[in-house]
């Protein structure tokens, strides 16, 4: 790896991408309507088939 020119920039770019994605995800979760989160959280245990779209 030491012989590749410019290789030291890749870990920095990866860290920046991760941090930006993580901040976006946290912001999305906090701004999402709580009733939508409650509705979606019930999907795996909901036995009512009218909610399922085929």
Structural domain boundaries of the chain?
Answer: 11-40
pLDDT digit string, tens, across residues 1-54: 567 888 889 999 999 999 999 999 999 989 988 888 888 888 877 666 555 554
What percent of the chain is helix, strand and coil (3-state, nearest 5)?
A: 70, 0, 30
- Its pTM surpasses 0.85: no
């Amino acid at each position: 790896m030491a012989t590749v020119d410019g290789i030291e920039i890749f870990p920095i770019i990866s860290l920046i991408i991760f941090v930006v994605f993580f901040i976006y995800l946290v912001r999305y979760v906090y701004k999402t309507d709580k009733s939508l989160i409650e509705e979606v959280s019930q999907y795996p245990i909901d036995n009512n088939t009218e909610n399922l779209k085929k």
